[in-house]
Every structure is written in structure tokens, then in C-alpha cells.
Amino acid sequence: MGAYLYLAPTLPDAQALREVDLQTPLRVYTADGKLISEFGEKRRTPLTYSQIPPRFIDALLASEDDAFFEHYGIDVKGLLRASLELIRTGRKKSGGSTITMQVAKNYYLSSEKSFGRKFTEILLALKIEQALTKEEILELYVNKIYLGKRAYGIEAAAQVYYGKSIQELNLAQTAMIAGLPQAPSAANPVNSPQRALERRNYVLSRMLELKKITEAEYRQASAEPVTARYHGANTEVSAPYVAEMVRQYIVATYGEDKAYTQGFRVFTSIDSTRQLSANLALQRGLLDYDRAHGYRQKPAFAPMIKGTQVSREEWLQPGKDEAPLDWDATLPQWHDAIAATEPDGVIATAIVSRVTDKGAWIYTGEQFLFLPYEGLSWAAPFLNINAMGKRPAHTSDLLSRGQKIMFERRGEHLLLAQKPAVESALVSVDPQTGGIQALVGGFTQADNQFNRVTQAQRQPGSAFKPFVYSAALANGFTPATIINDAPVVYEDASLEDGSWRPENYNGKFNGPTRLRQALYRSQNLVSIRILSQITPRKAIEYIRPFGFQNANLQAELSLALGTSAVTPLQLAGAYGTLANGGFAVEPWLIDRIEDSNGSELVQHSPVILCDGCTAPEGSKVAPRVMDARTNFLIVDMLQDVVKRGTAVKAKELGRTDLAGKTGTTNDQKDAWFSGFNRNLVTTVWVGFDTPSTLGKAAFGGTTALPIWMAYMKEALKGVPEQEPVMPEGIVTAMIDPTTGLLAAPGQPDAINEFFREEDVPKESATVRLETGNGTTVSAPEMLF
């Protein structure tokens, strides 16, 4: 009584357990609710009492506290038994703790082993029983208890050990989870399968003894092997760069202490289907580029145990020139060697088990697959970025038994692979809302967390030209304006020879060229002359609001060639302005943030694209930064890049609403393609992290464009084509393709062109017509 009177005032309020805030990890989801990742030391998914399977309750109480629903918080017999054991042996064997006492300890007390703490635990258990129902106590217990492998609570444990919800487990698996509280670290089924099996069968025997299961159920469940293995976070969509962007934001906003413990649920703008397509397109595109430049991987071998025992399939038996192996001993060694290698996107590790003339059998750690010669014949040795050695004539020229290799599944085919040395970035944005639909910051995040979408500052090359041309169109130029594509020299004291002599990428000059032609042909000298006329400073003032506010745009003529570094995300945002009709919409990733109870903490404010309208409450009007007519003209010109220019290969997608621009920098150090329609903008960059040439055959149209096409083919499935709407004040006129003036009457090579109505040429061209007798005459000029 004295001890009670002394300790009672210090006991916490048991009612507070109703409001207890369980530590739960940060979870990141796609827009359609699929899990991308989770962060936190404690994996936890709290359940309500009604969500706990009755069979699990039977298993738990049978092993931990079979009188739970009868006692009032303490088990007097159990405590007396534990005390007598302690007095008799001097060691603690059984604790005598009830589930209520464990709740008291887990929520309020330390793990100190002392009589004082134990007595406090007893008193607190009595207090909890008075304040809460049995169901509430059991709910607190199953959500708080540690069950090994960072799993706190039974739902997290079910996911960690079986990759399933607790409701989906069979009887043997349920008993395994119920048996974990006694020794979660030392006797879980991953760390100690045998000890876990014994504990599971003890739980089953107790259930049988208490008549919670039948004899037949007991025999069947106790005979089952241990099927548990470690399951990481049960992610549904691979988007590690997205997850890291969200993690950094949550830590910066809420602090590191709260970020991983408060159970924040972050829903992003990511479309799960498009993200998976982006992953596949980028990784396969880099592997294709890599294979075109040769095989760099040095041979590495897994352990092989020599012997005469051969018990595998006949085709695994060694050939005449191969020493016999003990396959029963070797394969487990190979399995461990493969398991120690982290998965790397679409490529996986395997070990060559047998080499034949037609290919090689490889062991993946789970099964044997056949890698045909056709899948490895590409692997000529890498000599340098522009040269390879001789291709292997036979499988044995490249592979031998025990060799560790990487391979890729592509449909029904297997291909030899290697981790690409080249890198890439892909970002896809909805230009109407700014929501990022897919984001891939590199081949994989396993080796390097550098996010090339947001952190790589690279020169965009000709992919920047549409903004220079837009500035020109906004300052009086038309698609038919003639600019001379001819050599030019600029004095520049900062250069070694004091002058700058820019050239076109093909080294040729085309003479007088219409603006439209110059853009889809990507003629550098025309772009420089345009910028010279409107001045770099004036162009930057026009361009910056498109999405380059934070970009370091240099007010120099080289700006026309894309020499000012930008990130892929900045470039994609700027192309979004072209795609949506001329409105500045900033790309965003986080749609909403919820707390652990599902209450909304943050909600992204949607944007409205319109001229002169008032935004509804909770939304905002995007500023117009490009005149509708200028926007129509530049988008129509960029469609010609796809129809007849440097991105003509994109016509294979079979759509008429695509526009975009390739970009390649000096010495092919960066390759770009940014392309769009009204619904989706996607930017792809390819290059080495430490800038160096991609090779003499690498251009935006050959290196970045194929990745863009592979992604957009899937991303635009089911999306109707939507051509740009011609705004008021845009007219068409037939012009002479050589001069850009109005076409002469009856001119056979006249073409149609768009103009602002006030910019239609006032003069007609003089056309030289053949008379049929070897002479030419001038056609009369017609003025309109």
C-alpha cells in the first residue's frame, strides 16, 4: 500500500493512450495512389481492431496471454510463478507479463529490469484496464510491438516477411508473426529460420490445446516449411529520384525529426503508367547506345567447386574440355554471388554455366536461361568512343563457364548487357497544369544520387533555338523572313585568335534562307544573325519568363547556339509555355500532403490558363508571356522539325500533332530532344556526367530522340490528336519559297505560309519562267 501511495501520483494518464501518436514512416505515392517509396527507421501500418484477423488474435493470445479477456490487467499466477523461478534459480525465465502490462511498458516505460519498474508496470496496467476496453488495449499492442527487421506492428511484419497483408496470411504464417514478440531480432524467420520454426510450432500447439484450431489444421500448418524472406518496402512504381525530391522537401519543411516519424503521406503528380514507360525507355535507350560502342566489361568469375558429383540436368554436364564440378555445392555459391549484386534497372546479373556454339546457358540465381549467340554477337571490344575491335565469332570467344555477366530481357529475347557509362535524364510535364508526369534522373540511383533532371546544368545546343526564334517573331520577323546563311566573323578579344567564326553543324552554307527552313534545318548562322538583329539582351528579357528565371542566360551572340547552361527541368518548363499556348506554368511535383490520420496539410493550387479571367478561390491564373499569334507561328514551325527536319524520325509515331527541336552541342558532348503536343511535353538529355564526346555519330536526332519516341509512344496511347487552334489575326498567303514574297500568279512552286495579318508581304516575287525555246522571261509582279 505504501508503494502504491508513493508511485500512484507519478503514473501517467492512461486516457492519453487514446490520443497516442505512433511513429510511422514517410510514404510517397503517385497521383493514382501507388506507392513509390517509404522513408523511416520504423516500418509501421497501424490497424484498427476490426482489421485484425480473428485467427491472429487467437494465435497471439494463445502464445502471449490466453486469459487476456478474463483478467484485469495482471496475471497473479504468472507473476507468482515468475517470482518463484527467480528466487529458486536466480535467473528470470518467464516474465509473467500480460499484454496490458506490455502495453504499459511499450508506451510509457523503459526496458530497465528492476523491481521498481516492474511494480510501476503493474500499477499502470491496472490503470489502463480501467480507462480502456480490451479491444482498445489489443489494438495498441499489435500496432506498437517490435517484430524485427524494422517492422513495428503486425501489418508491417506481414509485409516485411511475406510481402502480404496480415489478412492474406495462412495459418502457419499467422502463427509465425504471432510468435515473434518473444525474440524479434534473434528468432525471426530471416535471421534464424530454425528458431522461428520452433516458436511457430509452439504457437500452433497452444492454439490446438486451447481448441482454437483442429488437429488436422495443426498437422498441416506445423508441417509447412518456412516461406518467409525479407521484403523491402512494397513499392509499386520505381521512381527513386522522385522519392528523393519529396524526401528533401519534407525534411526542409517539417524537420528531420518529424519527417520520418509522423506518417506523412505525400501524393505526387506522377502518372504511374507514364513513369514506368519513362524508366524503360531511358534504360533501354542507354543500353542501345552502349552496345553500339563496344563491350567494356572485364571478365569476373564466381566460385566453382571441383568434384565428380553431377546431379543436375543432362545439359549442365561439363563438356570434354571442362573439369567436372560439384553442381550441388557450386550452385548455392553462385546463388549467393548473384544475390550480393544489387539489381540495376532492366539489367540483371547471371553466371555462365555452360558454353555452346549456339550460345550459353546462364544461371540467374532462380533459374537457367539460354543466351543465344545473336544476343551477344554485338560485343566487340570497346577501343575508344569512335572505334571497336573485332566482334566475337563464337560464344567461346567472349564467355566461359563461371563468368559473371549482366543480361537484359527484351520481350522474348535475352541480350548480353553492361552498366552504361553514359547517362541520361527524362522529364515529362503536363503543360496545361505543370504537373510532372514522369521523371528519371539517371540510369539508376543505386550508384549515384545525382538527379540530372534538376541538378545537371548542361548546354542545350539547338534545343534552345525555338526561344530565340520566338523572340524574333515577337519583334517583327515572320516565318518567311529571309536571312542569309553565310559565313560570318565576330571580333572577340577573349578568344585565342581574337575572333569567332561560327559554323553550321554540317559545315555547309545555304545562302538566303526563310526563317522556317532555318529552324527545321537547325542552321546555326541564321540563328546568330537573328539574335544579332534583335540583340541578346532584348531576347533574354523576352525569353526569361518562359521558365528560365533561375537560369544564367548569357547576353552574348552564342546564346543563339544554346551555350547558356540550363537543367532539363527548366527546358521542359519553357517548352511547356510553347505547348500550352503561351502561358508560364511552373512544373510542380507535390500535389498534396496528408498526416497519418489522412487529414490534408498541403494542397497544390491549380492554375487557370485564360486571358483576362478571374481565378476561382484556391486557384491562380497563369500569366501569359507569349502572344497567342506568336505562339501559333512558332509551334507550327516546330511541327516542321518533325515533318521534314532533324526530328523527321518521329513521324514513325503516326501522329500529326507533334512538335519539337533537337539539340547537339560542340563535339557532341550533349544530345537533346524536347518535343510536345498540347497535352504533354517531354525533354530528354543524353551525355556523360563529366562532359566528353558521345561520338561522331551522336546527335540529338540519333541519341536523345529514340528515347523520347519510345516513351511518347506509350505515354500518348489513347490521347486524341489535338492540333493548335489558329487564333484571330493569323492569315495564310501563297508565297515564293525563294524570296518569301507573295507568289506570282500561277507560280508552280508557290507554297502556303502563315502570317500575322499585318505582316503579310506587300510585294510579289519576280519569277523567271521557261519559254520553251531555251530563253526565260520575267513574270509580271502583282501587288496586293
Query: What would the mean pLDDT of 729-739 be, rounded to a whole number?
Result: 96
Pick the more confident residue, 43 or 773.
Answer: 43
**Residue where one domain finishes, among candidates 417, 452, 484:** 417
Q: Are 407 and 438 contained in the same domain?
A: no
Cβ neighbours of residue 571 under 8 Å, at least 6 residues apart?
Answer: 460, 463, 464, 547, 672, 674, 683
Instruction: Give yes or no: residues 470 and 347 share one domain.
Output: no
pLDDT at 783: 30
Asked which of 715, 741, 762 is the last residue of a domain, the reply is 715
**Any idea what the CATH number is for the domain that residue 141 is in?**
1.10.3810.10
Residues 555 and 448 in one domain: yes
Whether 440 and 468 map to the same domain: the answer is yes
Yes or no: say if 155 and 165 are a contact pair by the CB < 8 Å rule: yes
Enumerate the active-site residues. 64, 462
State the DSSP string of 655-698.
-SS-EEEEEE-GGG-EEEEEEE-SS-EEEEEEE-SS-----TT-
Answer whether residue 36 is part of any domain. no
Span 223-243, average pLDDT: 87
Strand 751-756 versus strand 730-735 pairing type: antiparallel
Q: Do the domain assignments include residue 256?
A: no
- Looking at residue 544, what is its pLDDT? 96
Q: Within this chain, do residues 632 and 682 fall inside the same structural domain, yes or no?
A: yes
**Strand positions, DSSP E, 206-316:** 265-268
Q: Quote the pLDDT of residue 95.
A: 54
Q: In this structure, is residue 315 part of a structural domain?
A: yes
- Whichever domain contains 475, its CATH number is 3.40.710.10
CA angle 756, 761, 762 (to 5 degrees): 125
Q: Is residue 750 part of a domain?
A: yes
- Same-domain check for residues 555 and 702: yes
Identify which of 608, 638, 601, 640 has the alpha carbon closest to the alpha carbon of residue 622. Answer: 608
DSSP class per residue in 292-337: TT-B-PPP-B----B-S---S-GGGS--TTS--B-HHHHHHHHHHH
Closest CA to 81 of 94, 65, 90: 94
Q: Which of 417, 447, 477 is the last residue of a domain?
A: 417
CA dist., res. 710 & res. 699, Å (int) = 17
Same domain, 345 and 314: yes
Q: What's the CA gap between 17 and 58, in Å, rounded? A: 24
318 with 337, same domain: the answer is yes
Mean pLDDT of 160-183: 93
User: Considering only 286-295, 396-405, 446-455, 499-508, which range has the smallest mean pLDDT?
Assistant: 499-508
> What's the domain count of the chain?
4
More confident residue, 327 or 404: 404
717 Cβ contact partners less than 8 Å away, ≥ 6 residues apart: none
Which range, 186-200, 434-448, 468-482, has the best average confidence (pLDDT)?
468-482
- 699 and 771 in a single domain? The answer is no
The answer to whether position 6 is within a domain reads no
Question: What pLDDT, in 10s, does the model give residues 80-104?
Answer: 665 565 556 555 545 568 888 888 7
Q: Name the phi and psi angles at 634, rounded to 5.
A: -70, -35
Cα 427 to Cα 242, 625, 677, 761: the distances in Å are 11, 22, 15, 40
Supply the CATH number for residue 330's domain.
2.40.50.140
The number of beta carbons lying within 10 Å of the beta carbon of residue 307 is: 14
Predicted confidence at residue 605, as pLDDT, reads 93
Mean pLDDT value of segment 526-549 = 95
Mean pLDDT lowest among 281-290, 603-612, 623-632: 603-612
- The verdict on 456 and 410 lying in the same domain is no
Q: Which tens digit of pLDDT belongs to each residue from 662-681? A: 999 999 999 999 999 999 99
Predicted pLDDT at 46 = 85
Alpha carbon 474 to chain centroid distance?
38
What is d(CA 708, CA 727) in angstroms, rounded to the nearest whole number?
29
pLDDT in tens, 48-83: 999 999 999 999 999 988 888 888 777 666 666 655
Domain contains 595: no
Residue 770 has pLDDT above 80, yes or no: no
Q: What is the mean pLDDT of residues 584-610?
A: 94
The predicted pLDDT at position 448 comes to 67
Confidence of residue 537 (pLDDT cuts 50, 70, 90): very high
Please indicate, yes or no, whether residues 393 and 494 belong to a single structural domain of this protein: no
Q: Average pLDDT, whole number, for the chain?
A: 88
Confidence band (pLDDT; 50, 70, 90) for 562? very high
Does 317 lie in the same domain as 175? no
Q: Is residue 240 part of a domain?
A: no
Whether 234 maps to a domain, the answer reads no
**Residue 776 pLDDT:** 44
Residue pair 442/423 in contact (Cβ under 8 Å)? The answer is yes
Residue 539 has pLDDT above 80, yes or no: yes
Nine cell digits for residue 135: 479491444
pLDDT of residue 363: 94
- Which structural domain range is residue 63 located in? 44-222
Is residue 506 scored above 80 in pLDDT? no
